[in-house]
Amino acid sequence: MITLTMSAAYSHEPVLLEESIKALLIQRGGRYIDCTVNGGGHAAAILEESSPGGQLLGIDADPEAIKVAKERFRSFGSNAILVNENFRYLENICNRYGFRPVHGIIFDLGMSSLQLEASGRGFSFQQDAPLDMRFSPRQSLTAADIVNTYSEQELAGLLQRYGEEHRGKQIARRIVERRPLRSTLELSRVVEEAVGGRRGKIHPATKTFQALRIVVNEELESLQLALEQALNLLGSGGRVVVISFHSLEDRLVKEFLRRESQGCLCPPSVPVCVCGHKPNLKIVTKKAVRPSRSEIQANPRSRSAKMRVGERI
């Protein structure tokens, strides 16, 4: 059983902690990357399991997450390198710090409690805050920009594609009628108006907020870029572990692992291979690993998590 100490000022429960640490096959003195350090839960477990001599490169686009992690990992000294960057620049970051090859890489793609509850950047419709949704203040595009300047057709398209919201057209129409919208509660109320109020356990604005956050932060594009770079950083036998929280992420990860575990990628109509692709990974998890019932009861936010693992060959 892995036990972690947390700052009294900030509490974040890492999802699938036992399962992900086991999947990484952590060894003493190993070198590991946490691409989404968040509250530092997975990172702390990696440092503890790889001691003595283990090294961690922790990356996060959110400067507040890095601030929390630096305080938490002060005692590890130079063994914990923490970088405020987007993981889409993963290979450049590793080159900068001479951090390659590595024994394992983990992505925990979920929102942290810090972002949802304490950031004031509009990630949650449970609290009133500006429609920002940027992981980093260095980014230019905000959720308010999208909501107030995109055409009705563009809004409907992104809600349908990134939020998998089948009521995207009627939500987009109501947003255009009611704008300008500046706060999370304003947007949440408009979505409820558009769909006729709340039905069931899931708040009607959930998919709209998801879609906006994904677009603002280019999340799917960044994940695709980072996974491809991870192949170049892993040593033989090194593992990549990805914990995702919605179907778009999981689909992307599943497809990446499937593709990189295959040889030829040519279409069936091509009689002889011309792509020259070789298998780079072995799929470790034939099916996605899900949280246990006890974890979901203790941490309801974990209920949608799926973990997939690949091993470099």
Q: CATH number, domain at 150?
A: 1.10.150.170
Q: Whole-angstrom Cα distance, residue 187 to residue 181?
A: 6
End residue of a domain, out of 217, 235, 258: 217
pLDDT: is 11 or 253 the higher one? 253
- Do 204 and 224 share a domain, yes or no? no
pLDDT, tens only, 242-292: 999 999 999 999 999 999 999 888 888 888 888 888 899 999 999 999 999
- Do 225 and 213 share a domain, yes or no? no
Is the peptide bond between 52 and the residue preceding it cis, with omega within 30 degrees of 0? yes
Q: Identify the pLDDT of residue 117.
A: 65
Using the predicted structure, report yes or no on whether residue 161 has a pLDDT greater than 50: yes
The closest of 199, 134, 210 to 168, measured between CA atoms, is 210
Q: Identify the pLDDT of residue 18.
A: 96
State the residue range of the domain holding 172.
120-217
End residue of a domain, out of 197, 217, 237: 217
Percentage above 90 pLDDT, the chain: 80
pLDDT, tens only, 169-182: 999 999 999 999 99
Using the predicted structure, report yes or no on whether residue 1 has a pLDDT greater than 70: no
pLDDT band at 113 (very low <50, low <70, confident <90, very high): low
- Do 188 and 144 share a domain, yes or no? yes
Average pLDDT, the chain: 91
Using the predicted structure, report yes or no on whether residue 10 has a pLDDT greater than 60: no
Using the predicted structure, report yes or no on whether residue 142 has a pLDDT greater than 60: yes
- Do 150 and 299 share a domain, yes or no? no
Domain assignment present for residue 176? The answer is: yes
pLDDT, tens only, 88-102: 999 999 999 999 999
Average pLDDT value for residue range 106-127: 79
- Do 262 and 288 share a domain, yes or no? yes
pLDDT, tens only, 147-158: 999 999 999 999
What's 256's domain CATH number?
Answer: 3.40.50.150
